[in-house]
Structure 1
Amino acid sequence: MPIELKMPALSPTMEEGTLAKWLVKEGDEVKSGDLLAEIETDKATMEFEAVDEGVISQILVAEGTDGVKVGTVIAVIAGEDEDLSEAKAAPAAAPAPVPAKDVAPAEAGAATVSAPPPAVPASAGTTNVGDRIKASPLARRLAAEQGIDLRALTGTGPGGRIVKADVEGAPAGAAAPSATTAPAPAAAAPAAAPAPAGPIPDFGIPHEDEKLSGMRKTIARRLSQSMQDAPHIYLTVDIRLDALLKLRGELNASLESRGVKLSVNDMLIKALAVALERVPQCNVSFGGDVMRFYKRADISVAVSIPGGLITPIITDAGAKSLSKISTEMAELAGRAKEGKLQPHEYQGGTASISNMGMMGIKQFTAVINPPQAMIMAIGAGEKRPYVVDDALAIATVMSATGSFDHRAIDGADGALLMKTFKELVESPLGLVA
């Protein structure tokens, strides 16, 4: 009997995706492991592999189609010795609900499925669908960097989709709207229901509206959920950085021949991981009627990308050398900005760190990334008056603020983690021991 190919859930939180490109056509023979299509998920473009053998008898969703729900039948495979005409005639069944696998409590039940949309002929695509511009993530990023208005371009990709070549060949008059119009959000990420909000009143101010991207919808939903579900408690410590900066300089001198250059953030990632190992009651997740205690510290690191934020993960950071953390972080951050991370590289983690010090932010509080129970917010290191050995001196000091889910972490335990983190940063030889 015909085999239905359904839009896969390529990440635990994925509810819909874009069928960016078909790598096969009707009549092609395929076997297990063959690449069938490229699918744009929440933060990356991923390849979809065949599981069964047969012949592609019918493609139901054209490449370039946005908003294809998980579980939607996108193509039909005719089995061995099966009549292709019969396979094409087989009715497409409505997709069954696809449960999210390994979803933490905060995300459980997020993935829902609706009936498959009708097949969209490849020739029917246009650059705009309603008010939404059809463009690849790379095209959006290039347009943002070059100040090009995507509305001024005609897409030459599948279904009229704007691709990289369209942006690179944009005419001189395709500049983005001036600052007199409201800036439009961009990018792409896990599609989900936006945070509840009514329509924005029109006060007669010149503006421009653009539908929320999948990434912005997800950020709105997850952060609203986190603030509503998890009672946050904030604990701040001032940390002297002079010893860490001195050690960093010495280590970088010795690592120069290997092409490794440690950043302060690399060392803070290690410090947070070691602190969590020493205070395991903070390396947890709250699950309603259970508390999950993690056996290792996987640190999610906030990285800004066009249109939003992504958190690549340094797994088992406490057990890794500083040079290994530095190398991995540079590679992950680079691929994150190109939209090439795999789901396992940004989903999970046991705690997060967000550093705005490089932008001159002195102190801030961060929203917990569910289902994690804490996040460390790092401010700028700056020269401040500081008491050293009972005497007033000038020292390089930063403020670090931990946000804790008070359902899972008591204030005293959070305070102990902040104290341990401070001690590790101020006496950093423990990071290389």
Structure 2
Amino acid sequence: MLEYDAYLGHVKEPMPNGVGHHVIYKMAARFLDKDALKVKMPSLSPTMTEGTIVQWLKKEGDPLSAGDIICEIQTDKAVVGYEVDEDGILAKILKPENSKDVKIGTVIGLIVEEGEDWKNVEIPPDVEQSAPSDTGPVTPSSKESPAQSSLDQPDMHSIQSYGPAVRCLLEQYNIQLTDVHGTGPANRILKGDLLKYIKDKNLKPVPLASISLPKGAVASTEKTSSTSEPAVEKKPSIQQPTMGTEGANYVDIDLSNIRKVIARRLTESKISSPHMYCTIDSNIVRLIQLRKEFIDDGTKVSMNDFIIKAAAVALQKVPEVNSLWKENGISIMSNIDISVAVATDSGLITPIVKDAIGLGVEDISKMVKDLAGKAREGKLKPEEYQGGTFTISNLGMFGVSEFTAIINPPQACIMAIGTSRVELDEEGTPQTYMKVTLSADARIVDEFLATRFLEAFKEIIENPVLMLSQAPKIDHQKLFAK
């Protein structure tokens, strides 16, 4: 039996360009004999241990050509398309749609060579097969009503495969998936699609008490008759299955793989990394004026783009902060790769602006827009969000004055950006200030180092021309020997 050991990394190869709306991984293998090819759950990120089969784009018996995407896999970071690199026939689906917590290396399907008898493909004895899902039409029996039969048929997209933001909107406004046209990958519904649908239909949030309850349940808020007639149980209306366990005043939401990983990593960070916080104010009047000049010149850049550049220059001046924690020591990174926190339907993800010190503000702006768009649509390639040496989280655009952020391990620091505010100086002149808070791993960055970095950042922000300067090369090996 020829096996595809993608999870061992032997032939895994990222596509240079995404196909369609997905990140694509190639499945390379040669049919050296007439046995079926085992298609295994691959490892698509360093932290991935299991995945979810979101959707099969091919069904059993479908011919396959090199470059075809056979299924979508939800990793701990994104939804990834799985591409074959050989012609053949999809003979057997061993893990149906919505199979959750599928371990890396688990066989999820079998492929045979063209011309082979795919219907009688032999399933190896060491391969576990899940119960088949009802993907075909269901013929109602004489005892089953057509309405009940339609409920038993799975939708093209299961509500369980969506992130909390989408699922909460579906529940809050009592929207059925079939009512909304999705603009995402394979017509997948995005948060923006729901917001547009809600706006177009002028929908209002539905009180939880008015949402259909499971059979046999009675809402506590239901008014009862004052007569002696027995209460008549209301039959629930036929609607989209809910996202989880529903009660009188709550809804349980199943955790996606991405949310599980985020929860685990944040908890580990707070437990294992002793967080230390330092806050500083910066006068951004000159920076605002510089941004205005960029915009007047036809170049649209944000304050965050300048902040990323300023942080990169400050890291070059205080390179000890640009470090990673390892059990056997501290690694001071020569490359300055800034992770930028982006909120998505599935949770927070941090795409990376690589070599930020070597990029101009305009280049950073274009890269951030591109990465943020990919992140929200689930199109990021693993190399675009794995790694990073320093993280920036900006809630200033939402009016948050200041906050503390949780460190993104193994990085040493994360910088939280608050909103701007106007104050009068001693002469009565309006000045604009911005407050930033550095969360630092005290095992790597102490109060003195954190202060040095924030002072450097403040100096650069208040004198933006310094963003164009380059610090001299530093011998990193001697930094902690002082």
* TM beyond 0.5: yes
Q: How has the CA–CA distance of structure 1 residues 173 and 42 changed in structure 2, closer, same or farther, with 3 Å as cutoff? A: farther
5 Å matches for 1:148-167? 148-149=173-174, 164=189
Aligned residues: 376
Bigger mean CA offset, 241-250 vs 56-65:
56-65
Structure 1 residue 225 and structure 2 residue 268: aligned? yes
Q: How has the CA–CA distance of structure 1 residues 307 and 35 changed in structure 2, closer, same or farther, with 3 Å as cutoff? A: closer
Structure 1 residue 238 and structure 2 residue 281: aligned? yes
Output the CA distance in 2 between the equivalents of 1:51 and 1:428: 50
Q: How many Å apart are 1:175 and its aligned residue?
A: 6.4
Structure 1 residue 413 and structure 2 residue 449: aligned? yes
Q: How has the CA–CA distance of structure 1 residues 227 and 221 changed in structure 2, closer, same or farther, with 3 Å as cutoff? A: same
CA-based RMSD of the aligned residues comes to 3.7
Asked if 2 retains the 8 angstrom alpha-carbon contact of 1:314 and 1:325, the reply is yes
Secondary structure, counterpart of 2:102 in structure 1: strand
5 Å matches for 1:34-433? 34-51=68-85, 54-78=88-112, 84=118, 87-93=121-127, 117-123=130-136, 134-137=159-162, 141=166, 144=169, 147-149=172-174, 164=189, 177-178=206-207, 206-254=249-297, 256=298, 260-386=299-425, 393-433=429-469
Asked if 2 retains the 8 angstrom alpha-carbon contact of 1:156 and 1:163, the reply is no
Normalization by structure 2: what TM-score? 0.68
Q: Deviations over 1:130-168 (max 9, x none)?
A: xx9635549963972895335x556999xxx99549979
Asked if 2 retains the 8 angstrom alpha-carbon contact of 1:38 and 1:48, the reply is yes
Output the CA distance in 2 between the equivalents of 1:142 and 1:179: 14
Output the CA distance in 1 between the equivalents of 2:179 and 2:170: 18
Q: Which residue of 1 aligns with 2:8?
A: none
Asked if 2 retains the 8 angstrom alpha-carbon contact of 1:360 and 1:379, the reply is yes
Output the CA distance in 2 between the equivalents of 1:380 and 1:55: 56
Q: Deviations over 1:279-324 (max 9, x none)?
A: 1111111111122221211111112223522222111111101111
Asked if 1 retains the 8 angstrom alpha-carbon contact of 2:301 and 2:365, the reply is yes
Output the CA distance in 2 between the equivalents of 1:156 and 1:91: 43
Q: Which residue of 1 aligns with 2:145?
A: none
Asked if 1 retains the 8 angstrom alpha-carbon contact of 2:162 and 2:346, the reply is no
Q: How has the CA–CA distance of structure 1 residues 220 and 180 changed in structure 2, closer, same or farther, with 3 Å as cutoff? A: farther
Structure 1 residue 4 and structure 2 residue 43: aligned? no
- List runs of 5+ in structure 2 lacking aligned partners: 1-34, 139-151, 211-246, 470-482
Asked if 2 retains the 8 angstrom alpha-carbon contact of 1:365 and 1:403, the reply is yes
- List runs of 5+ in structure 1 lacking aligned partners: 95-115, 182-203
Secondary structure, counterpart of 1:149 in structure 2: coil
Bigger mean CA offset, 77-86 vs 277-286:
77-86
Output the CA distance in 1 between the equivalents of 2:168 and 2:264: 26
Bigger mean CA offset, 73-82 vs 236-245:
73-82
